[in-house]
Amino acid sequence: MLLNLALNFIQASAPTDEITQVYSRMSGITRYIYENLAAVDASGAVDYTIPGYITLALIFVLSAIVYKLGFAKTLPLWQNAIIYIFLFLGCIMLTFFAFFLPMVEGLIVAALILIVYKSRLWREKREEQKAVAK
């Protein structure tokens, strides 16, 4: 909601060329989300609520994947819930950074690197178990 108010304020006080300038400064994936998923209501005002929530959800999911692949340990359920609550709160701040910094792109790269690392680690353990079994 705060994001929607901020973007509506920017839109209401900025001419179209300034909106274009803001779009040109945005990072790639975030710009794509905001350009293609913004809704226009009957009065002609652009509503950026849905793209804001989509960006937040994307950042949270990617952050959770990076956390799970790189840093997570087996913990009780209540401790995991606390960790994910604080992860979500941190992702709200990352969403504001994602406007002009490549946060989503960085999280995608981090997730891909960790996926490759974990798959190679899993494959090495499997080959080691086969060698011990022989």
| Rounded CA separation 48/31 (Å) | 12
pLDDT of residue 15: 57
| Rounded CA separation 127/132 (Å) | 9
pLDDT in tens, 65-111: 999 999 888 889 999 999 999 999 999 999 999 888 899 999 999 99
CA dihedral sign, ordered 98, 47, 50, 24: negative
131 pLDDT tier (thresholds 50, 70, 90): confident
pLDDT of residue 28: 85
pLDDT of residue 103: 92
pTM as predicted = 0.79
